[in-house]
Amino acid sequence: MKKLLFAAAGVLALSLPAQDAAARPTIEELQKRAVLDDYEANVLFGYNIVMDSNRYAPRYAGNALRCSSCHLDGGTRPDGFPLFVAGVYPKWRAKNGVRNSLEMRIRDCFLYSLSGVMPPEEAPEVLAVSAYISYLSYGKSIGTPPQGWGVPTLPETGADPDPARGQAVFRRACTLCHGADGAGTAVAPPLWGFQSFNAGSGMNVVPRLAGFIWANMPMGAERSLTHQEALDVAAFLHIQHRPFDPREGRLRKLAEEIYHGLSRLFGARAPAAPTGR
């Protein structure tokens, strides 16, 4: 009896590494399964949110974008803001000046890029996306950024980004999918306006946006633009109208405006600008 138990334990011990080495199930396999454990169900929920944020996370999503609008191919494409980055979190970020857990980082995306309501860190939607990210990170390096992280940083071109030239490039290369007014079409997301990312999001930083455009746009003819063209288009997008940066308290802004208006009106009372002396 005892022998049998040992034998069973042995078989179990042998089978464990074998199971470990087996490839993780693909999303398609998970979708076909009748029974999922909690982690797998969560991964699938996360995948659904990434592919269709408005349908699966309606409570917190705020615009017409979805996670996969920027995290291309459901976050699997290198140089297209891939999501297989669980290995580098928690990490310090300059954006909010604190150490960010993966969940904290995800809720930023809801607030800025999806221009919605910031979910709490333990919201089911956040935990699901977090599970999906760690699922994608299977086999990637831990502690160092994986290959193809973020977007490429473009080299110095020697010329400033020019929105006017960018507009020309936009008309030539982008309008087919994104529409002449940048409001998006059935195949591509809106680039500005109230249905796009807000002024506080990472996409609103010109060098990063330029890197994304150069590496991934136009779809089907990636890396066909020059570095300078990508920078110009990015600058053109940057100056468009989009939702405000939610980090600024609107009421405080309003109070500041009123204060400045009043101090301009009563010029004598306003503190004098420092002079060179």
Residues that bind other proteins (CB under 8 A): 34-36, 38, 41-42, 45, 58-62, 96, 111, 116-124, 127-128, 246-252, 255
Distance CA 43, CA 30 (A): 9
Nearer to other proteins, 118 or 188 (CB): 118
- Closer residue to other proteins in complex, CB, 42/216: 42
Q: What does the angle CA 126 – CA 117 – CA 194 come to, to the nearest 5 degrees?
A: 125
Single-letter amino acid, residue 256: E
φ/ψ (deg, to 5) at 249: -65, 125
DSSP-assigned beta bridge partners for residue 100: 91
Least gap, CB of 117 to other proteins (angstroms): 4
Structural element, H or E, at residue 260: helix 250-265
Closer residue to other proteins in complex, CB, 134/216:
134
**252 vs 269, which CB is nearer to other proteins?**
252
> Are 121 and 129 contacting, i.e. CB atoms less than 8 angstroms apart?
no
The residues near 32 (Cβ < 8 Å, ≥ 6 apart) are none
Q: Which amino acid is at 90?
A: P
CB of 43 to other proteins, least distance (A): 11
CB of residue 247 to other proteins, shortest distance in Å: 5
Which residue lies nearer to other proteins by CB, 118 or 177?
118
Provide the minimum distance between the beta carbon of 236 and other proteins in the complex, in angstroms, as a whole number.
28
User: Residue 195 Cβ, how far from other proteins at the closest point, in Å?
Assistant: 14
